[in-house]
Chain A
Amino acid sequence: MEPMTLPPSFAELAPYLDWALPTADERQAKRLASTSDELRRFYDAVLPRLEDILAEVDRFPLGGLPESHRALFNIALSLAEVAPHIELYGGAVGVPYAFDEARFIAVHGDQPTWKGFAPTAAG
C-alpha cells in the first residue's frame, strides 16, 4: 500500500490523494474512469503547485523519495497524465479520435515510477 500523507505545506492537496497512484497504468485507468469535471478540478488544484512540488521532491535523490513525499510525487505524475486532456482535448477523458487505449500495452506500465528504474526493468 502506498503512503497516503502529504508534507504539511501541501496539505491543501489532500482531497486529491486518490490520484496519488504509483504506476502509469493506474494513473491512466483513473483518468479514464473520471468525469471531465473531475479532471478539471484536479488540474486546477494541482497546476498552481506543480513547480513547488517539483522543487520539493528534488530535495531527495531519484529513487530515494521518503514515504512522506511519494504521494506528492505521484500526484504530480497524475497531472502529467491528465494535463493534455484539459490543455489540448477540451476536457475529453479519452484521447479523441484515437486507437482503443485498453489495447495499447505499456511494458513499463506496472512499474512504480518514483523508484526511478529503467522502464525496461522489472517492477
Chain B
Amino acid sequence: MNSEHRWLEAYPELGTGPVPTEPYISAAWHELEKEKIFKRVWLCVGRANEIPKAGDYKVKRIDAADTSVIMIRGKDGQIRAFHNACAHRGNTVVTETGNETYGSSRAAVLTCRFHGWVYGADGSLINVPSEERFYSCFDKSENGLTPVHYGEWEGFMFVNVAEKPESTLEEFLGDYADHFRGFPYDSMDFGFTYRTELACNWKVAHDAFAEAYHVDTIHAGSFPNVFSTGLQNVKLMGPHRTCAVCLTLNAKPTPVAGVANKVAGASLVARRGASMLPTSINPDKRSDFAFELSVLFPNTLLHISEGIWFTHQFWPLAHNRTLWEGRYYVKAPKTNSERWAIEHAMTLQRNAWLEDTATMEDTQRAMQSRAKTMQNLQDDEILIRHGAAVVDRYVNA
C-alpha cells in the first residue's frame, strides 16, 4: 500500500474529520477519564523482574485511579497486588517516597509505620500491637489489605483497580498480546528510567510520541541524518494500536557514534545483525525498519527494535499535568567498553526525548487558549486519530 491515504483505506471507520481539543483541556472530561478508563482498565505498572525475590515489593502511585498499589512477591513466588491502605485508620502501609517506591522484606511482610500493624504478602493481617485493646467486633481475618486485580503478560505487571474488571487481562490485551509475544524483554533488563512532570494533558504527551511525522523537524538536532520514510504495518487492535516506524540513514556515523557502534549495537540508529523480533514485527523485512511503535491502551507506549526496547508511560495528575516516565532497556553489558557504548546510546536517546517533550507544554498552553478548537490530522497520524476515538468511546460508554 503506497497511496497517500492508505490508512484511511484500511480503517475507514475512523473518518477524516478534525479532532476536537476539548478533551485535552477540560477538567470535567478528565474526571470522566479517571472514572471510565483509569479505574476500569488494566494498567501496566512495571516488570515482574523489578521485584525478583520473595518479600520484594514495589508501590506505584496511580493518581488517575485515586490510589497507590503495592505489588509484593510472596514466599510462594507469586506477585499479588493490594491498595496501599491500612485497615486501622487508613494510612498508607508502605510509606511512599515518590511515584514509585521499592522495598524488600526478608520475612515477606509489610508493617505499617503508623502503629505497627503487620500484613503478610497474601494481604492477611498478621499482627496488631495491643490487639486486646480493640473490641470484640474487630476481626483480624476481615481486615487484610484490600486486593487489587493483578495479572502478568510477558513479564509485565498489570493491575486493574475495578472491583470487578470487565475483562480478564488476556481479553483486554487481545491481539496485542500475540503481536508482541516472544521478544526477549526479560534478557534485556538493563533498564534506564527518566521521569518528569509535564504541564500538559496525558494525551498531548501520547500524541507527540505516537507519530513519526515529527522526526525530520524535532529530531533534526539529535538525528540529523535520519529521515522518516513513514509508517508501515499499522494495525489497530481493539483499544490498542501499533505500527512500524521506518527511517533512512543518509550518512556515515559521527566519530564518537562510530566507535560506539563498533563496540556494541546499543544505539537505535546502529546497524544490526540477526533478528530477535517476533515474526509479526516488520513482516516484509524492510531494510529501513527502525522500531515498532505501539500503544498499549491507555497510557503505555511500547517500542521494540533489534537489541533495544523502550517504553513511555503517561500518568495523568490533572487535566493539564502528567507524570512522564521513559524507560530504555538493553542487554546487560559484559565489559567496560560495552558499558561505555550503552552510556553513549542512552545519552543520545535522552537528548531525543528532551526534544520530544519540548513541544508538549507549548501545545497545552496553546490549546487552552481555545484559539483553535480542532486539530487536523494527516493519514500517518492515524494512531492519534485512533487514540482519540478510543478515549471518546470509553468516556461516552
Residue positions of A touching B, CB distance < 8 A: 24, 47, 50-51, 54-55, 57-58, 60-62, 65, 73, 76-77, 79-81, 83-84, 87-89, 95-99, 101, 103-108, 113-114, 116, 118-120
Contact = CB atoms under 8 A, between A and B. Distances in A.
Contacts of A88: 221-222, 224, 254
A95 B222 contact: yes
A62 B333 contact: yes
Contacts, number: 125
A104 B197 CA distance: 8
Interface in B197-256: 197, 218, 221-222, 224, 254-256
Contacts of A97: 218, 221, 355, 358
A114 B181 CA distance: 34
9 contacts: A61-B336, A62-B336, A62-B339, A65-B336, A84-B222, A95-B351, A99-B196, A99-B360, A104-B357
B34 interface: no
Contact of B256 (A57, A61, A79, A96): A79
Given A60-B336, A62-B339, A120-B50, A98 B192 contact: no
B336 A114 contact: yes
A88 B353 CA distance: 15
Given A107-B193, A119-B190, A54 B339 contact: no
Interface residues of B, number: 43
B285 interface: no
Interface string B339-373: 11001100110110111111010000000000000
Most buried by B among A88, A103, A108, A118: A88
A51 B262 CA distance: 10
A13 B291 CA distance: 39
Given A47-B256, A58-B337, A61-B335, 12 more contacts: A54-B336, A55-B337, A58-B336, A84-B351, A87-B257, A95-B351, A97-B218, A99-B355, A104-B194, A106-B194, A106-B350, A119-B190
Nearest to B340: A76
A50 B191 CA distance: 25
Interface in B122-178: none
Nearest to A105: B195
Contact of B335 (A62, A106, A119): A62
Nearest to A116: B339
B259 to A, nearest CB: 5
A99 B360 CA distance: 9
Contact of B259 (A51, A61, A73, A101): A51
